Structure 1
Amino acid sequence: MKRVLTPARFAAHSLRLRFLLAILLWVALGIGGIWYSATRVFTRHIEAQYHDELYGHVRELAGLVNISKDSHLSLSRPLSDPRYLEPMSGYYWQVSVHRGDRIHSASMVRGEIDEDIAHSPEIFHSIDNGPTGKTIAYGFTGFTPDGRVVHYVIAVDKRYLDQAIASFTRELTLWLTALATALLITGYAVVLFGLRPLNRLATAIGQLREGTSARLEGAYPSEIAPLVEDLNAYIAGNEAVIERARVEAGNLAHGLRTPLAVITDEAERLARQPESARAARALLDQAHEMVQQIDFRLARTRSAAGARASLRVSHLPEAVLPILSAMRKLHPDCAFELSAPVPVRMAIDPVDLSELVSNLLDNAGKWARRRVVLTIAEGPRIRVEDDGPGMSEEQIARACEIGSRFDADMPGSGLGLAIARDIAEAYGLRLRLSSPPGGGLIADLV
């Protein structure tokens, strides 16, 4: 059976999948780039802010420290940031004289800051251990009136900077994930909307194959409309060519039958004369062979043309009811029964189906004793079963050969099963013959 074309959602090579993969890649690169650049910019910005703040605090600290003549240290007032007053707040300062006095912030209730951080009159910073973990420390050195080195150090726990960066990163990741999801959903909707005309085109082609429509119907975008118009023009032209081919095949067969009839009549007249009887029999045999070939080739040409068109559908059992009525008149001594539990549709030209089924029924009617059963089932599947004598395996193997006849007294040309087989094969079907042990012949069309 021919496959009905249906639009595939996300097949391996579908446009939908390609577009969605492109959108996914673009969103991933875009959102990933935004996330990376935003986190880097924020990190640099907040680090610069921390460093500027600590730079100002260490300069402020140096301005507030009083150094007596005997190198005693005191603070004229607390620093402007109150966090240096909260115990173990993570904000610390320390001023120490080399091998002398040392003062520190009220927040540093335990531990100390390494004074070697301040090792130059220029302000330097580094990451070092502090009272409550890793700290960002700023420091520089000065001198007492008696020439000893004074170390000014400001330190802030690094965890505050890390927490600020991590919090920003989490929030940014959440928002960008939501944005990426929205973009993907929007992209998916755009792809579905943009490819909807192709869905309609695929559905229209499927209807064309099923035979429910004779042309591609509907309005399509300007990018697809020329293709649809060309396909409709091709379909119309193809049907016209096929119809002309069928007519010409019929005309050719008719044109050949007339002179063949004349030759046959003349040969039969000559056969009655003893001196020309042998030659006349040869002419009659050859004329009979030519009639067989004409009938077979004509049927094959019609079925092949119909199969190439493949735009029509046969509805069963409606299509076979006239055939059964004709067979009951042709074989009045045989009962023709129909079993069709459910309606079935077959992608085969109704004319070809009628010829195929009529050949099978006619063959069964010739050999049946009392009854022939035509069964139509889903699949679709057609079975013709008779209660005749049946066939041997050798006869079944030769049954579909051109001119094959197993009883010379039985009327017929020996073409019925050969024509039925060729029509079936033209539509991708298989004609299978079998003879059950109890007798009779079963012809299955699958």
Structure 2
Amino acid sequence: MSGMQAIARLGLRARFTLAILAFVALGLLAVGLSASALFRSHVEKVFHAELEEHLVELIGLAEVDEPLRGPLGLARPLSDPRFGADRSGYYWQISRDAGPPLRSPSLAGATLDDRLAHSAGITHVRAPGPAGPAMVYGTTRRADAGDTIHYLVATDTRHLEELVADFRRDLFVWLAALAVALLGGAALALRFATRPLDRLGAAIAAVRAGTLRRMGDQWPIEIAPLATDLDRLLDSREAMVTAARIEAGNLAHGLRTSLAVLTDEAESLSDQPAGATLFAECRRIARQLDWHLARARAAAGQGPVRHTRLPDALVPLLSAMTRLHQDRGIVFAANGPPVGLVIEPEAFAEILSNLLDNAGKWAGGDVDVQWASDGGTVTLLVTDDGPGIPADALERLFVPGVRLDEQVPGHGLGLAIARDLAESANGRLRLGRRGDGRPGTTAELALPAGQDTAMGGSGTRGAG
């Protein structure tokens, strides 16, 4: 997947989050850099003003023996005590064309380059100093004897750099705290702003699950048109489903009447081979007719779906299966907590009838049904103690018409129908080996749990 495709698939929250992160990062970086540059400029101006004042003070305190061109001196030390401290980083120097210079104690024997003071005007430059780069202020004065007096005042640039570094450290700590506060506030604002989208998703899921009929009208103005259109679509589809159900009911009524006559006639002839076959086929047609009607109701997907309760829904199924397989003595049992399933009872009965019937055909003696709730899903396990199913045949059995053994009664439609109904109810159905390692097969049916699902224990055993 390319980068553009990945960006295109990002959710709204992710897009807003990335945009906010970029905005905050770039904004605070710009603030930090500009504030640091502004602070440096201000501090440099302060340093330059102080050095110029010290230079003027040095000129005023200098004592020059003009007639004798004797040693240089100061009337008193400069007012800033840092000039008198050894290696303090603040220096001054007075020199003339001939003779030794007069230097501040802070120079500790080092010398400033008197060529940096080369004019009567005050000049300042950055030049090497005794302890590294320095800011140097200088000027010259012409003595009466004709020689030139050089006045120099300097300070190490490390003092400026240390101030700027301290400011930057404090500034960026403060900006980091500000970034955290801004991002936290943005996250809260984003959560508040996108809450209607969460509600929209939950409402759509509730409509699909059948716990909500319509989207309603309590939406922000940006979402309200979408909710209104969805409700109109639901109304239209519900009207279509209602009309289809009426037509299916009318067709079923007409077929049932004729089928009932055929079934009665076939039952009267059931003592003959042809009559028995006809009677069995009539019952199969009746069952298929009932299934298609139940599937139509389950797959409609509009309006509240009737919930199925366990273990109540299993009691008649287990009883029927026990009677169906009583000649082989198969025992059907079930155990699990009381739960609700979001599926039409008819669809659930059709699914479990197929699973239980298949398990009963292959079981050696026992068929066990267990279920448990995990979050929003209820998982049912239908396990038999038969010979099991080869791994390569587990998925093929869901293809309509595929049968594992042609000698066993059946039409190869039951599992396909069961999976179709399970998926129509937003569930899943799959086959596998028993989990305890013993021979046999387990059918795993997962269905959405109803809101009234409760934990507890219950047991049900089929009656003979």
TM normalised by structure 1 equals 0.73
Name the structure 1 match of 2:43. 46
Corresponding letter in the other structure for 2:55: V
Name the structure 1 match of 2:310. 316
SS in 1 for 2:78: coil
Q: Deviations over 1:316-369 (max 9, x none)?
A: 33332343345567777666633123455555332211123234546777x699
8 Å Cα contact 2:355-2:443 kept in structure 1: no
CA distance, structure 1, for counterparts of residue 172 and residue 344 of structure 2:
62
SS in 2 for 1:380: strand
SS in 1 for 2:313: helix
CA distance, structure 1, for counterparts of residue 363 and residue 164 of structure 2:
95
Structure 1 residue 376 and structure 2 residue 370: aligned?
Answer: yes
CA distance, structure 1, for counterparts of residue 103 and residue 412 of structure 2:
119
How many residue pairs are counted as aligned between the two chains?
411
Corresponding letter in the other structure for 2:401: E
SS in 2 for 1:46: helix
8 Å Cα contact 1:94-1:154 kept in structure 2: yes
Runs of 4+ in 1 over 6 A off after TM superposition: 259-267, 288-295, 329-335, 368-372, 389-394, 396-399, 402-408, 412-415
CA distance, structure 2, for counterparts of residue 253 and residue 390 of structure 1:
38
State the shift of 1:58 in Å. 1.9
- Relative to structure 1, the CA distance from residue 445 to residue 93 in structure 2 (aligned partners, 3 Å threshold; closer, same or farther) is closer
Q: 1:358 aligns with which of 327, 334, 353?
A: 353
**Which aligned pairs between 1:255-294 and structure 2 lie closer than 5 A?**
255-256=254-255
CA distance, structure 1, for counterparts of residue 111 and residue 191 of structure 2:
66
8 Å Cα contact 2:383-2:441 kept in structure 1: yes
Name the structure 1 match of 2:241. 242
- Relative to structure 1, the CA distance from residue 339 to residue 89 in structure 2 (aligned partners, 3 Å threshold; closer, same or farther) is same
Name the structure 2 match of 1:26. 23
8 Å Cα contact 2:297-2:344 kept in structure 1: no
Name the structure 2 match of 1:401. 401
- Relative to structure 1, the CA distance from residue 362 to residue 291 in structure 2 (aligned partners, 3 Å threshold; closer, same or farther) is closer
State the shift of 1:221 in Å. 3.4
- Relative to structure 1, the CA distance from residue 417 to residue 441 in structure 2 (aligned partners, 3 Å threshold; closer, same or farther) is farther
CA distance, structure 1, for counterparts of residue 161 and residue 432 of structure 2:
83
Q: Identity over the aligned pairs, expressed in percent? A: 39
State the shift of 1:155 in Å. 0.8
CA distance, structure 2, for counterparts of residue 138 and residue 414 of structure 1:
103
SS in 1 for 2:333: strand
Name the structure 2 match of 1:203. 202
CA distance, structure 2, for counterparts of residue 391 and residue 126 of structure 1:
94
SS in 2 for 1:26: helix
CA distance, structure 2, for counterparts of residue 80 and residue 181 of structure 1:
46
- Relative to structure 1, the CA distance from residue 432 to residue 45 in structure 2 (aligned partners, 3 Å threshold; closer, same or farther) is closer
SS in 2 for 1:358: helix
Name the structure 1 match of 2:269. none
User: Which ranges in structure 2 are unaligned for 5 or more consecutive residues?
Assistant: 1-8, 267-273, 373-377, 446-464
SS in 2 for 1:200: helix
Name the structure 1 match of 2:67. 69
CA distance, structure 2, for counterparts of residue 180 and residue 219 of structure 1:
35
Structure 1 residue 340 and structure 2 residue 298: aligned?
Answer: no
CA distance, structure 1, for counterparts of residue 336 and residue 292 of structure 2:
31
Structure 1 residue 138 and structure 2 residue 132: aligned?
Answer: no
**Which aligned pairs between 1:31-110 and structure 2 lie closer than 5 A?**
31-67=28-64, 68-72=66-70, 73-110=72-109
**Which aligned pairs between 1:410-425 and structure 2 lie closer than 5 A?**
419-420=417-418, 422-424=420-422
SS in 2 for 1:13: coil
8 Å Cα contact 1:360-1:417 kept in structure 2: yes
Name the structure 1 match of 2:299. 307
User: Which ranges in structure 1 are unaligned for 5 or more consecutive residues?
Assistant: 1-11, 268-280
Moved more, 292-301 or 81-90: 292-301
CA distance, structure 2, for counterparts of residue 328 and residue 216 of structure 1:
45
- Relative to structure 1, the CA distance from residue 69 to residue 301 in structure 2 (aligned partners, 3 Å threshold; closer, same or farther) is farther
TM normalised by structure 2 equals 0.70
**Which aligned pairs between 1:119-268 and structure 2 lie closer than 5 A?**
119-216=118-215, 219-256=218-255
8 Å Cα contact 2:383-2:443 kept in structure 1: yes
- Relative to structure 1, the CA distance from residue 156 to residue 369 in structure 2 (aligned partners, 3 Å threshold; closer, same or farther) is closer
